[in-house]
Chain A
Amino acid sequence: MLILIVIILGVSFILYTLLGGADFGAGIVETFEGKREELTISRAMAPVWEANHVWLILAMVILFTGFPAVYASLSWVLHIPLMMVLLGIIMRGTAFTFRHYDVHQGRSHKYYSFLFRVSSFITPVFLGMILGAMILGEISFDRSQGFYRMFIAPWLNWFCFTMGLFTACLFAYLASVFLVGETKIERERIKYAKFSKHSMIATLVLGLLVFIMAEAEGHSLTRTFLHSIPSIIMLVIAVLLGPLIWHFLNKEKNKTVYLRLGVGIQVTAILVGWFCIQFPVLIEVKNASELTFYNTQAPAATLEQLLIALIVGLLLVIPGFVFLFRVFKIRSM
């Protein structure tokens, strides 16, 4: 039962990264590519962005129902970066909607765009920092440590910051590859393809930097990684897909399906590889035993009800989701 819930949590996390991540990334791409891309991006995102972001709510609900201690501890010690994520989510969602629905074009649109772009970047950076803090092991529940050590140091360090940049970069990469298939204008397509390649290289470099920074902060990520065979396999898959995607990006003919599939598998592989290293740990704790799926799970009665709700829920949601994407994505391809 626990394993099934963990798998569903993992799947919703992956889907949030792929779909929500591409949404965030679209805002980053827009920042670099400028005004003309606004239209394509808005058109691509508008029907699906709300549904995409519900995967995060789902993950939150699983966390606080199934593993309440993890949810409570995270939101206690990582209050500040979580607050930043929230501000980002508020700014981004509202600015995007206002921009899309405000009938008047003009000065107000400039402000909406500005807020949308800034928050599209800030939110993933802080999301990445939070993930970084969960694995780095600087988190501590010892109240005698003082404000800085307890509420700031666990997430404000070079490793977490690199994780943040890596996340933002990965999202931008996802988004630009998705966007290649969203436009019918050749000039725009070339622009997105170029952006995809640049962000692919940047993601790779930042990924390496994550490992280096982990060592620098005294967290032996490399060693744990080398001990986990599934993680190595996943990383190899992700790396090997790189040249293949590069090849399709160079093709003039539209290869949207291969591109999207390739980048989807690539990102999923990165996440699965990461889960394999982490499992069953959710939060590494300084000088104390870590919080795992096992030692924080809710009582069996709760897990059972949660699983029923999740399975029934997914049986209802997935066909709806497929329908939504068929109507707005596949048919327009």
Chain B
Amino acid sequence: MDDLIAARLQMAVSLGFHIVFACIGMTMPVLMAFSEWRWLKTGKQVYLDITKAWSKGVAIFFAVGAVSGTVLSFELGLLWPQFMKHAGAIIGMPFSWEGTAFFIEAIALGVFLYGWNRLNKWVHWLSGVLVSISGILSGIFVVSANAWMNSPAGFDWVNGRAVNIDPVKAMFNDAWLSQAIHMTLAAFVSTAFAVAGVHAFLLLKNRGRLFHQQAVKTALIFGSVAAVLQPISGDFSAKDVAKRQPAKLAALEALYKTSKPADLVIGGFPNNKEQRVNYAIHIPGGLSFLAKGDLNAEVEGLDKVPKEDWPPVMITHISFQLMVMIGFFLAFVSLLYLVFSIKWRHVLMKKWWLCVIAFATPLGFIAVEAGWTVTETGRQPWIIYGIMRTKDAVSSMPGLRYSFFVITIVYLLLSLIITWLMRRQINTIHEFYPTAKTL
């Protein structure tokens, strides 16, 4: 395995691991603060119990996320010193704001988790609100740094050096808004559906328990709204990518030849040699419409891009299909949920419906991982799009593969332990919270 591949894989493993915890860290505080607020308003024990049960899980996820985030702040330099040498001064600003937001999040979470008996109820609730706000902000700041890699701005590149640096312009680059919206919604969809799914599963095992019913409801209120909005934000992102990164759009749609109009290719396996997509469904003019808003518009294909600048088409295309498929499925389920909860509430307790929700448990996170793969592999071979190639940024220290092996093993083990630990925590809900036993 060569060192470049090892470094890229290590980054993929570290970010793929961290993104799950980051999503949870952005969403769960909102769900907890909402649930606590309902308790403060109604005085019903069940809402308090839900908040407390969730907070036990969040404490574990948050600690792991804090650790894997710290690891990333080092890995950027350990693996990509040439990138950080040039980019540090340009995108340091979102990172320094992220640092601040994360700091506030860590402090407020400490207060929230351990302050139950020490603080006034409303002060306690406020700390939860503060965790929510700072959690979402810190996510957005990091995404803004990533958006800069897709859409470099705020500097001039002269003879292999950045000059005339403008950190504010760099932070508010062309891609930041569409990426920030898409990622925040994704965090809400994935986490809320995972939470709802787990409680739906527990409801299937223990029918009619109020605790789980309310938990599913609280999670889905946020999850369903986010999931319905997500395709709209996805469309906004796609149009943005079409404008800024035609090579990425061509790769994720596996569009080999510039076409007018361009078909929307659904599914299938791209074949770089024959420059065609096997076993795919074609919708005439579909891509022209989605990318440019016009059924007859021309869409640039990979033939406009020199072959050495092609992203890996297979991975990007398949990940994109997976993300979109799940996105639409969850949006559909969410629409059903909204309709049912307005008109036919009894359906929400039906076994088949709970099965659907339980089935959706991992889907959101799979979509997050797939979407992350799309944006990262779709940018290749660039680390800073059009400016610096990934292979020129990698550390020249020999033997990077060993740190890749070690990190991979550690994260695999951690994933196993966390899964096992969560099962253990969930199995004890019924012992600790009286409302989890009542019907």
Interface residues of A (CB under 8 A from B): 46-48, 50-51, 53-54, 56-58, 60-62, 64-66, 68-69, 71-77, 79, 82-83, 85-87, 89-90, 93-94, 96-98, 100-104, 143, 147, 151, 298-299, 301-302, 305-306, 309-310, 312-313, 316-317, 320-321, 323-324, 327-328, 331
Question: Does B12 have its Cβ within 8 Å of any Cβ on chain A?
Answer: no
Please report the C-alpha to C-alpha distance between residue A323 and residue B395 in the assembled complex, in whole angstroms.
42
Min distance, Cβ A46 to any Cβ of chain B, angstroms: 7
Please report the C-alpha to C-alpha distance between residue A64 and residue B95 in the assembled complex, in whole angstroms.
9
The DSSP consensus for interface residues of chain B is helix
Given contacts A57-B73, A75-B78, contact A93 B63 (CB under 8 A): yes
Which one of B93, B110, B165 has the highest number of Cβ atoms from chain A below 10 Å of its Cβ? B110
Chain A interface: which of B242-250, B259-267, B344-352, B396-404? B396-404
Q: Note all chain A residues with C-beta closer than 8 A to B114.
A: 46-47, 328
Number of A-B contacts (CB under 8 A): 209
Can you show 30 pairs from A to B with CB atoms below 8 A apart? A53-B66, A57-B73, A58-B103, A61-B95, A65-B96, A66-B89, A66-B92, A71-B84, A72-B77, A72-B82, A72-B84, A75-B78, A77-B397, A79-B395, A83-B78, A87-B410, A89-B71, A90-B67, A93-B70, A94-B67, A98-B421, A101-B56, A101-B421, A103-B425, A103-B428, A301-B167, A305-B96, A313-B99, A313-B100, A317-B103
Instruction: Check A98 against B107 for contact (C-beta < 8 Å).
Output: no
Instruction: Check A72 against B85 for contact (C-beta < 8 Å).
Output: yes
Question: Does B293 have its Cβ within 8 Å of any Cβ on chain A?
Answer: no
Q: Note all chain A residues with C-beta closer than 8 A to B110.
A: 47-48, 50-51, 324, 328
Instruction: Check B96 against A103 for contact (C-beta < 8 Å).
Output: no
Instruction: Check A83 against B403 for contact (C-beta < 8 Å).
Output: yes
Min distance, Cβ B145 to any Cβ of chain A, angstroms: 11
Min distance, Cβ A275 to any Cβ of chain B, angstroms: 22
Q: Which of these, A48, A72, A93, A317, contacts B67 with CB under 8 Å?
A: A93
Instruction: Check B103 against A94 for contact (C-beta < 8 Å).
Output: no
Min distance, Cβ B128 to any Cβ of chain A, angstroms: 14
Given contacts A89-B67, A98-B417, contact A327 B86 (CB under 8 A): no
Given contacts A102-B424, A299-B165, contact A50 B66 (CB under 8 A): yes
Instruction: Check B107 against A65 for contact (C-beta < 8 Å).
Output: no
Please report the C-alpha to C-alpha distance between residue A321 and residue B414 in the assembled complex, in whole angstroms.
30
Instruction: Check B107 against A51 for contact (C-beta < 8 Å).
Output: yes
Q: Determine the residue in chain B with the shortest Cβ distance to A300.
A: B165
Q: Note all chain A residues with C-beta closer than 8 A to B398.
A: 147
Q: Note all chain A residues with C-beta closer than 8 A to B62.
A: 50
Instruction: Check B77 against A151 for contact (C-beta < 8 Å).
Output: no
Q: Note all chain A residues with C-beta closer than 8 A to B76.
A: 64
Q: Note all chain B residues with C-beta closer than 8 A to A147.
A: 398
The DSSP consensus for interface residues of chain A is helix
Question: Does B33 have its Cβ within 8 Å of any Cβ on chain A?
Answer: no
Instruction: Check A90 against B410 for contact (C-beta < 8 Å).
Output: yes
Question: Does B90 have its Cβ within 8 Å of any Cβ on chain A?
Answer: yes
Please report the C-alpha to C-alpha distance between residue A104 and residue B432 in the assembled complex, in whole angstroms.
13
Q: Note all chain B residues with C-beta closer than 8 A to A65.
A: 88-89, 92-93, 95-96
Which one of A71, A77, A82, A312 has the highest number of Cβ atoms from chain B below 10 Å of its Cβ? A71
Please report the C-alpha to C-alpha distance between residue A173 and residue B100 in the assembled complex, in whole angstroms.
30
Min distance, Cβ B72 to any Cβ of chain A, angstroms: 10
Please report the C-alpha to C-alpha distance between residue A102 and residue B428 in the assembled complex, in whole angstroms.
11
Min distance, Cβ A88 to any Cβ of chain B, angstroms: 10
Instruction: Check A87 against B77 for contact (C-beta < 8 Å).
Output: no
Q: Determine the residue in chain A with the shortest Cβ distance to B424.
A: A104
Question: Does B329 have its Cβ within 8 Å of any Cβ on chain A?
Answer: no
Question: Does B312 have its Cβ within 8 Å of any Cβ on chain A?
Answer: no
Q: Note all chain B residues with C-beta closer than 8 A to A317.
A: 100, 103-104, 107
Instruction: Check A301 against B165 for contact (C-beta < 8 Å).
Output: yes
Q: Note all chain B residues with C-beta closer than 8 A to A100.
A: 59
Given contacts A82-B74, A97-B59, A101-B56, contact A302 B165 (CB under 8 A): yes
Instruction: Check A310 against B421 for contact (C-beta < 8 Å).
Output: no
Within 8 A of A (CB), among B80-134: 81-82, 84-90, 92-93, 95-100, 102-104, 106-111, 113-115, 118-119
Q: Note all chain A residues with C-beta closer than 8 A to B96.
A: 61-62, 65, 305-306, 309-310, 313
Please report the C-alpha to C-alpha distance between residue A87 and residue B67 in the assembled complex, in whole angstroms.
10
Instruction: Check B100 against A312 for contact (C-beta < 8 Å).
Output: yes
Please report the C-alpha to C-alpha distance between residue A299 and residue B87 in the assembled complex, in whole angstroms.
12
Q: Note all chain B residues with C-beta closer than 8 A to A324.
A: 107, 110-111
Instruction: Check A298 against B84 for contact (C-beta < 8 Å).
Output: no
Please report the C-alpha to C-alpha distance between residue A277 and residue B328 in the assembled complex, in whole angstroms.
62
Question: Does B174 have its Cβ within 8 Å of any Cβ on chain A?
Answer: no
Min distance, Cβ A129 to any Cβ of chain B, angstroms: 15
Q: Determine the residue in chain A with the shortest Cβ distance to B110.
A: A47
Given contacts A73-B81, A90-B67, A102-B424, contact A302 B93 (CB under 8 A): yes
Q: Note all chain A residues with C-beta closer than 8 A to B425.
A: 101-103
Please report the C-alpha to C-alpha distance between residue A331 and residue B414 in the assembled complex, in whole angstroms.
36
Min distance, Cβ A29 to any Cβ of chain B, angstroms: 21
Please report the C-alpha to C-alpha distance between residue A324 and residue B123 in the assembled complex, in whole angstroms.
13
Instruction: Check B60 against A74 for contact (C-beta < 8 Å).
Output: no
Min distance, Cβ B71 to any Cβ of chain A, angstroms: 5
Instruction: Check A64 against B92 for contact (C-beta < 8 Å).
Output: yes
Please report the C-alpha to C-alpha distance between residue A216 and residue B396 in the assembled complex, in whole angstroms.
31
